[in-house]
Structure 1
Amino acid sequence: MSGQRTAGIWAPQYVWVTVGAVAMIFLAATQALAVTTVMPVVSADLDGEALYAVAFSATLATSVIGMVVVGAWCDRSSPVAPLTSAVVLFAAGLIVAGFAPTMEVLVAGRLLQGLGTGGQTVALYVVVARIFPAQLHGRVFAAFSAAWVVPSLVGPVLAGAVAEFLHWRWVFLGVAALTVVAFLLVWLRLRGTDLTTAHPDRSPITARLVWASLVAAGALALSLAGEAGAWMPLVVAASVLLVLVTTRPLLPRRTLTSGRGLPSVVLMRALIAGSLFGAEIYVPKLLIDDYGFSPVWAGLGLTAAALLWALGAAVQGRWGDLLGNARITVLGTVLLFAAIAIAGVTALWHLEPVVLVVGWSLAGAGMGLMYPRLTVLTLAYSTPQNQGFNSSALSISDSIGSAVVIATMGIVFTALVGTGVAYPVVFGIGAAVALLALIPGLRLGHAHEPARE
């Protein structure tokens, strides 16, 4: 027992899993930040301005299907095979996007990539749950968040430089190759290790797969609602209703009504993810379109936020139990709201861009506090029989919250382009969603999450 207390996530028995998993998170972070940075260039090059928001929400929508399949697969067996399949889909989607001749083909690649992205996240969560003792979960997820540090420093800037001096296609193709290498580090350590649960879940998966497909369809329909002309209000209403109805079976009971405990953990994740990622895609676009920044300098606009995300995650990993869930919720949501509000005011009053960059960094600090904490709480509320379901539910809420907010912002932004208020309004939507996160955030409860040793 004492040996387990002194062993850390870099101990010999864990080090290769830690290195490989952190590398995969690192590359996912690099890819996410890079795409956010270069997408204004991509959409201009492929004449796909109308599909700008869809290129983001498409990946999030299909990721739900990957999450459900991999979550159920992990609850029935070892997470190694599900993780392998997810990595193959992720890399394949990046390759399609990297070679895309049109924006429509790029979106198709992003749809394929989403299947792998969702499954990869869930499988890694289950690997953590089954490889590491509970006392180390907080440190692992803090390391996952800290894996955004180097991408924050070089990812957006490097992506901008690649797009400016080479070609944006290498942003996709390079990450595909490196992800396969990182995965091999994890696979070589896990092969031959029995990671199956003692009491596998044998409940049918067909219904959940149907629900997940309908959720993805609803999110995609919402993303494309702006192309429906006079039918747009009807398409929006029908899409939102479809998403709400079909998401319910994929989440813990009472999630949509913010039930105390795990349901509120899952709902809060949807709201803060939607708020941040919805607003974030318009930060580099604002810097490029309105302030004339190059892709390199626009990428720097995301750096400070991601650095403070890592700092916030480190604070949560070390002092999260001392702060408590309620304090983390209030502090995190206030920081997130302030960042998005500053972005909106900057766009409305045409303030100096440094105000936007510095203000946006507050969003990273808030998310660093909240994001890994919600993951730790999810595992603390779980048993070996439902780790896959709960992990997939957390990721599903993350993706659907982001997809719905991004799609809504895309519709509003497209409708308001040329009026001078498009950016302030979309940032206002993000700020409002951040405040809504206080409702479930104050109902997180405690799941006897393990204290640090």
Structure 2
Amino acid sequence: MVDTSEKASGEGLFSKRYAAATATFAVVMFLEGFAALAVLPTLPLAARELDGIALYPLVAGSFVAASLIGGVIGGSWADRSGPYRPLAAGIGMAVVTLLISGTSTTVWQLAAGRFLEGLTAGMVTVAVNTAIAHTFPDRLRPRALALMSTCWIVPSLIGPPLAGLVAAWGSWRTVFLGLAAINVVPAVIVVVMLVRRARAAAPPEGTEPEKGKGPRPPLLIAVAVSLGAALGQFGVSAWDVPHLLSTAAGVTLLVVFAPRLLPPGTGRAAPGLPVTALLRGLASGTYFTLEAFVPLLLDTERKVAPVQTGIAFTAAAIAWAAGSWLQGRWLTHWPRHRTVTVGAVIMAAGLLVAIAGTFPVTPPITSAASLAVAAVGMGMLTPSVTLLALNHSPADRHGYANSALQTTQNLGQITVMGLAAALFNAAHASPADPLVAFGAAFGLLLVPAVLAAVLAVRARAAGPGAPGPATG
């Protein structure tokens, strides 16, 4: 519901001035949400059928590794020629990636399909956030970001449970191929709309668009970091010499090249954009590792049907949207860094629920509920971090700021998931109950969640609507 001031000014999200942009971005996020959420409950089943359970961290992590490249491409492209072209390219490629995954004959092809899906998702996420920064004034951005999260509610309500039913009655392949068939026509329509907006926003012929200030990370560095991430995810899947060498190579690439993708000072949590980017990495690493391991726990140890796992993802998506709505409506007068702190604390509470779910005496719903609790925290935290990043960057560097967030998000997922997977595999190889391995992995996730809660104060904004230091 639009407040009185917005009615008076005629500048709400759905006013004549912003309606077309709002609708376009909402459809983009709807399509992206449907494709992203529906396939998640089927990934453990697909990996098991393709004899690739040991490589499940690679399947889950390849999406993240590719998002690094997609985020860099999307941010640089958006700063150079506007956000609509990378948006159109990402939506168009999404259908192709579903076809590749759905026709997988080996776990390696499945990982390749998820890699390409991560590439498109990285482009789309950065481009949407940059487009929101370019389109809406400061006071409407929190609600625009909340609306983007809300656009995931309908996909979350029907996507995962329906995918679980399809996988139970037919095959996990049907989920991927069916999504590709359903998305073809909407994707074509959205791409046409975005191309038209890109042409309308293009500078007059003979003029040169303003160049963003400062260096942008070369694509080859992003590829090196992505390769390091993939090698690391593969390496932690076993403890023999080839896997250890793969891990060493991956860590080396990450240590050498990853800092060149980040705002200077990110590693030491310097105030401004650096610590804001670090917060995104810590939070995302925590939540998405939890999101990867909970369905594996439900499938392998609790023997939960795929449709029930899908319902858990539905509850988590709704909870995420609720947290996002809360920060966009009730908490708009709070300093943004405090919202980040509260969100991180709620995520830590969700991890405690996940740990409780590894005890044999607790029902399987306990593990499923942990996703929903943690998702409330992520819904509050994610848009708040995005707004802080925009506050700490000048307008012509919003693409770079969003790219930095996407990069640290993916690096956080890679690092945290890699550590959790290594601990999980070590514990899983021991004579102890397999549930102990899951408990150890969930316990490890408490560290980045608590660290995010502590560091949030360093991301304090310079003032209401005032741009902070443009670091990077």
Contact 1:130 1:195 survives alignment (8 Å): no
Larger mean CA deviation between 209-218 and 237-246 belongs to 237-246
- CA RMSD of superposed structures (Å): 2.5
TM-score (norm 2): 0.88
Letter aligned with residue 214 of structure 1: A
**Pair 1:169–1:2, CA change in 2 (3 A):** closer
User: Structure 1, residues 109-139: CA drift from partner, whole Å, max 9, x if none?
Assistant: 1122222111111111222122222322111
Contact 2:132 2:141 survives alignment (8 Å): yes
**Pair 1:399–1:86, CA change in 2 (3 A):** same
Structure 2 distance, partners of 1:80, 1:26, is 16
**Pair 1:20–1:347, CA change in 2 (3 A):** same
Q: How does 1:180-329 map to 2 (within 5 A)?
A: 180-181=187-188, 183-184=190-191, 186-187=193-194, 190-194=197-201, 199-201=210-212, 208-225=218-235, 226-227=237-238, 229-230=240-241, 232=243, 235-329=246-340
SS at match of 2:332: helix
Larger mean CA deviation between 396-405 and 25-34 belongs to 25-34
Task: Name 1:64's counterpart in structure 2.
Answer: 68
Contact 1:348 1:423 survives alignment (8 Å): no
Q: Give 1:266 deviation, angstroms.
A: 0.6
2:427 is equivalent to residue 416 of structure 1: yes
Task: Name 1:137's counterpart in structure 2.
Answer: 141
**Pair 1:254–1:9, CA change in 2 (3 A):** same
Larger mean CA deviation between 287-296 and 233-242 belongs to 233-242
Contact 1:161 1:296 survives alignment (8 Å): yes
Structure 1 distance, partners of 2:188, 2:254, is 36
2:441 to 421, 426, 444: 426
Task: Name 1:441's counterpart in structure 2.
Answer: 456
Letter aligned with residue 36 of structure 2: A
User: Structure 1, residues 10-48: CA drift from partner, whole Å, max 9, x if none?
Assistant: 223332332232222233233333232111211122111
Task: Name 1:404's counterpart in structure 2.
Answer: 415
**Pair 1:40–1:232, CA change in 2 (3 A):** closer
Q: Give 1:302 deviation, angstroms.
A: 2.5
Q: Give 1:228 deviation, angstroms.
A: 5.9
Structure 2 distance, partners of 1:189, 1:138, is 26
Letter aligned with residue 28 of structure 2: M
Q: Give 1:235 deviation, angstroms.
A: 4.5
Larger mean CA deviation between 174-183 and 439-448 belongs to 174-183
2:125 is equivalent to residue 125 of structure 1: no
Larger mean CA deviation between 224-233 and 245-254 belongs to 224-233
Q: Give 1:3 deviation, angstroms.
A: 8.3
Structure 2 distance, partners of 1:161, 1:114, is 25
2:55 is equivalent to residue 51 of structure 1: yes
Task: Name 2:41's counterpart in structure 1.
Answer: 37
Structure 1 distance, partners of 2:257, 2:412, is 14
User: Structure 1, residues 171-215: CA drift from partner, whole Å, max 9, x if none?
Assistant: 32344452614633741661432256952238775x621211111
Structure 1 distance, partners of 2:361, 2:74, is 46
Larger mean CA deviation between 321-330 and 140-149 belongs to 321-330
Task: Name 1:13's counterpart in structure 2.
Answer: 17
Q: Give 1:140 deviation, angstroms.
A: 0.8
Task: Name 1:109's counterpart in structure 2.
Answer: 113
Contact 1:301 1:357 survives alignment (8 Å): yes
User: Structure 1, residues 224-251: CA drift from partner, whole Å, max 9, x if none?
Assistant: 1134613655643553343243122222
SS at match of 1:169: helix
Contact 1:90 1:115 survives alignment (8 Å): no
Contact 1:16 1:186 survives alignment (8 Å): no
SS at match of 1:7: coil
Structure 2 distance, partners of 1:204, 1:162, is 48
Structure 1 segments, 4+ long, off by >6 Å, are 1-4
Q: Give 1:359 deviation, angstroms.
A: 3.9
Structure 1 distance, partners of 2:269, 2:198, is 40
Letter aligned with residue 374 of structure 1: V
SS at match of 2:199: coil
2:160 is equivalent to residue 150 of structure 1: no
SS at match of 1:97: helix
Q: Give 1:318 deviation, angstroms.
A: 1.3
Structure 2 distance, partners of 1:53, 1:450, is 41
SS at match of 1:11: coil
Structure 1 distance, partners of 2:310, 2:375, is 15
**Pair 1:46–1:182, CA change in 2 (3 A):** farther
Contact 2:92 2:188 survives alignment (8 Å): no
Structure 2 distance, partners of 1:76, 1:188, is 16
Structure 1 distance, partners of 2:137, 2:193, is 17
Structure 2 distance, partners of 1:136, 1:326, is 18
Task: Percent identity, please.
Answer: 33
Structure 2 distance, partners of 1:439, 1:381, is 19
Unpaired segments ≥5 residues, structure 2: 467-472
**Pair 1:80–1:305, CA change in 2 (3 A):** closer
User: Structure 1, residues 350-379: CA drift from partner, whole Å, max 9, x if none?
Assistant: 411233333432111111111111111222
Structure 2 distance, partners of 1:182, 1:450, is 36
Task: Name 2:470's counterpart in structure 1.
Answer: none
TM-score (norm 1): 0.91
Contact 1:343 1:359 survives alignment (8 Å): yes
Larger mean CA deviation between 349-358 and 1-10 belongs to 1-10
**Pair 1:449–1:26, CA change in 2 (3 A):** farther
Structure 2 distance, partners of 1:319, 1:450, is 18
Q: Give 1:308 deviation, angstroms.
A: 1.8
Q: Give 1:408 deviation, angstroms.
A: 2.6
Which structure has more relative contact order (CA 8 Å, sep 6+)? It is: 1
Structure 1 distance, partners of 2:360, 2:457, is 34
Contact 2:280 2:409 survives alignment (8 Å): yes
Unpaired segments ≥5 residues, structure 1: none
Structure 2 distance, partners of 1:17, 1:24, is 11
**Pair 1:231–1:168, CA change in 2 (3 A):** closer
